[in-house]
Each structure stands twice: as structure tokens, then as C-alpha cells.
Amino acid sequence: MCPGRGGVKAGGMTSRRDIEFPAEDGTVLRGWLYEPEGGGPSPTVVMAHGFSAVKEMYLDDFAAAFADAGLAALVYDHRNLGASDGTPRGDIDPRRQIDDYRTAITYAATLDAVDGDRIGVWGSSYSGAHVLVVAAVDRRVKCVVSQVPLVAGLETARRLVRGDHFAGLRAAFDADRAARFGGAEPAMIPVTWENDPAEPCALPTADSHDFFFGPITSRAPSWKKEVTLRSVERFVEYEPQTYVPMISPTPLLLVVAEGDHLVPADLALKAYASALEPKKLLVLPGGHFEAYVDANFATSIEVQREWFRTHLRGK
């Protein structure tokens, strides 16, 4: 383990340094540790990004805001993405990512800057799904914030993919499995369309295109525009909603964008209704990606960090 390869100012008197740690299979995961002013063991938030996304896609803003509020934040890239190791590049496996979240919690607890008895988890979109699962099964987690999460893979996919195309998608999954069994490399598919909205892709919404091919590209040059086709198959099979009733007694804050059609808001609200207390719901105006920026960020971050401060304050 390397405790850091340098540091930068993060905002206010907080600091950020590079970290890396091995997953259980030895894959090295890399990211940042934000430390609040004053040092010493601090309540800590473990964070990662969503489907194909990397930490430079606004997670630094969230982490810096947490640190300015007295919380440490450990942010890392998922395996096969961004600064982290792992192959095939662009291969997204929710089960492995969930296991890596749990390893990140274990690693965080070894750091002098972290109070291992006061660790929360944060996730958004695809990782918003993961933290629902992690909070349900790992009682080391004392608090969870899930922002604009995927909760129902199959139903979400059926809304994103035209009905007359769905059988073809399943046929492509089967063909890819057969090819891999024969020794071929996994097939690849664009994350979202780049030039033609009719282009087959994993996230076929206009706001996905605008996010991934907009100004964020200069901020996150390590992002790659393709993922494995089997990543999409796993997305379709992923049902984190089944874990939501099991999160209690861990406090849950669910952040929903009312205009979200990438991970539909009505599905998230239905999942929230199945959660037991303690829980809190924050509904933001606008769409999925608006949760990361501007007025929605300003509104949401105040609620999120107060949630963490409240529930990570005491042992």
C-alpha cells in the first residue's frame, strides 16, 4: 500500500493526497484522500462514481465539500476505469465493484486520518446502487447517501431500449458469451452515442451524450468512451432494490432527480418507500446529471453533508 504520491490543496484548509490500495484479488485501486483541517482521526465518507465514470467527473467537488465540513473523504476509481488498474479496460461488474467498496472501507480504517468506527458510504447513479447493497450487508457502514441511483436494472433497461430492439440486445449478449467461450475478447459498445442518436450504446439518452461529450471531457481525460457489452448485460440483471428494506438501522439518505429518465425517478421513489427508518428523501428538480452541478449541487451538498455529520458524529 502506498499512503500517497503527493498532495494538493482541496478547498479552505483541507488537503488532498493520492492513495492506492489493493483489492482482494490484488488489483490496485487508486484515488484521493481528502482530510479536513485539524487532522486526527475523522469521520470518513468512502466514495466512487457511476457507470464508466471516473472520479474527476465532479466527485472532487463533493469530497472537498465534505472535507470542509470536517469529514474525511476517500475517493477512488473503480477497477478497469480511470487511474485504477484492471483489465479488460471498461469492464464493469457490479459484484466486483461492491466488493471493492468493502475493501475500500477496510483500507480506510487503517489510515491515521480515519476514525474506523465512523465510516459512511456515498454513491451516485450506478455506484448509488452499489452503496444500497453495501449498506445492507456491511454493518461497518454507519450512514449512506445514495444519489440518483439505479434501483431496477431490467425495468430501467426496458425503458431505455425500444421494445422491438430488446430481443436483438439479448441475442447480442448470447453471441458475445459464445464468442468469449471460444476464446475471443469481450465485445465492446459505446457508453453513449457520440454523433448519431441512433447509434447502439449503453446509455442512449440525450443528457448522457451531453454529459460525457460535453465540457467534462477536458476535466476527465482518463474517461474512455467504450465499455464491454457484458457490462450492459450485468446492468440489465442488477436489482439493488431488493436490498433496500435491509439497510435499516443504518441511516439512508436517498437523493432523486424528479426529471430523471436515465434511472427513472418513479422507480427510485418506489424503492425508497420500501426502506425502513431512519431514512430521508431529497427530491431535486431537473434530470440525472443536473444533480452534480450548479443549483442542485448547492442544495444537495448541504443536505448530504449534514446527514453525514449528524449520523457519523458519535461512536
Give percent above pLDDT 90 in the chain: 94
Query: Please, are residues 47 and 59 in contact by the beta-carbon 8 Å criterion?
Result: yes
SS3 227: strand
Q: Give the pairing of strands 226-228 and 188-190.
A: antiparallel
Overall average pLDDT of the 231-245 stretch: 98
- List 123's β-bridge partners, or say none: 48, 146
What was the pLDDT predicted at 40?
Answer: 82
8 pLDDT tier (thresholds 50, 70, 90): very low
Alpha-carbon span 17 to 3, nearest angstrom: 8
Backbone φ, ψ for residue 296 (5° rounding): -65, -40
- Asked if pLDDT for residue 260 goes beyond 70, the answer is yes
Helices and strands in the chain: count of H runs, count of E runs = 10, 11
130: Cβ contacts below 8 Å, ≥ 6 apart: 48, 94, 97, 98, 101, 123, 240
Domains of the chain, each with CATH number or no CATH: 7-152+239-311 (3.40.50.1820), 156-232 (no CATH)
- Asked if pLDDT for residue 312 goes beyond 60, the answer is yes
pTM: 0.95
For 193-212, how does the pLDDT look when each residue is reduced to its tens digit (9 = 90+)? 999 999 999 999 999 999 99
What was the pLDDT predicted at 250?
Answer: 98
In sequence order, what E strands does 213-313 have? 226-228, 252-257, 279-284
What was the pLDDT predicted at 38?
Answer: 87
Helix (H) or strand (E) holding 271: helix 265-274
In sequence order, what E strands does 77-209 have? 114-124, 141-147, 188-190
What was the pLDDT predicted at 7?
Answer: 41
User: Of 43, 48, 118, nearest to 79 (Cα)?
Assistant: 48
Cell representation of residue 132 = 444500497
Mean pLDDT of the chain: 95
Place of cell 470542509: 68
Query: Please, are residues 156 and 148 in contact by the beta-carbon 8 Å criterion?
Result: no
In sequence order, what E strands does the chain have? 7-11, 14-22, 28-35, 42-48, 72-76, 114-124, 141-147, 188-190, 226-228, 252-257, 279-284
